[in-house]
Amino acid sequence: MTDTKVAPGGVFSLGGDLPVHRLGYGAMQITGPGIWGEPSDRKGAVAVLRRAIELGVNFIDTADSYGPYVSEEIIREALHPYPEDLVIATKGGLVRTGPDQWVPVGRPAYLRQEVEMSLRRLGVDRIDLYQLHRVDADVPLADQVGELRRLQDEGKIRHIGLSEVDAAQIEEAGKVAEIVSVQNLFNLADRHHEAVLDYATEKGIAFIPWFPIATGELAKPGSVLEQAAGEHDATPAQLALAWLLRRSPVMLPIPGTRSVGHLEENVAAASISLTDEGFDRLAKLAA
């Protein structure tokens, strides 16, 4: 069992007042197939969360739609009462109608309901970071973010973030409330949100890449990273995470897993230092 900690990956201050280790944990996979229902091994999910805390992880990302609700419930079961330095981010704005089905709903009344329910499920008085999971095209963005701002003013949300947005949407939302994070698809193989990452880096906004290991594609046997991983005495998954940590100081990767072993492997990526040459070579290999 490894004792490698996440601390070597550095620290980022969310919103300027919530310091977190830059390698976090994404709690989407501690649910059933299709991110639907109970996991096959609930005790195993609890064990993964507790081991993450032992390894120094103090940033956990979840959403009310994971399960739905199951992920938030398991986080409370595993970790409540929470460590003082633990930051839990959750999201709302996607309705689940079945396995692998995600429907955006951004009506203000619905978002308020989901915030209230997440507070209850997580067992907290205020959510550290609440992210609009998707922008609902049928509702003005100002209305969606405006409701979160009202909840923030009421003390129920500390900081507000967005997910799957472009720079123009971040700026638009920023006219209504301070946006401290953006959560977009991004990994070594899929970098179509480079412009958003550059914008976030310039503005000091946390960039939380989901699917940071490309759901295993970058780590599978025979992948383009396999040879490079051998040269670094690391696994392909570790190199993919180390590359993200090196890419920008605002990057907060949140690899998720149901396995304690995979969790420990991911955490060890925080100790890998890439040279400029190594960083550029990995980028070209995965292009």
Within a 13 Å sphere around the CA of 269, how many CA atoms are in the beta-carbon half? 31
| Pick from 266, 270, 274: nearest CA to 48 | 266
Residues 25, 66, 82, 130: which is the catalytic one? 66
Q: Is 110 a catalytic residue?
A: no
Compute the distance between CA of residue 153 and CA of residue 217 in angstroms, rounded to an integer: 42
Strand partners, 159: 129
Question: Taking each helix axis from N to C terminus, what angle separates 194-203 and 167-174, rounded to the nearest 10 degrees?
Answer: 40
Contact 184, 251 (CB under 8 A): no
Assign 223 to helix, strand or coil. Answer: coil
Contacts of 127 (CB under 8 A, 6+ apart): 88, 89, 90, 115, 118, 119, 156, 157, 158
Buried/exposed code over 78-112 (b: 16+ C-beta within 10 A; e: otherwise): bbeebeeebbbbbbbbbbbeeeeeeebbbebebbb
Residues assigned a catalytic role: 66
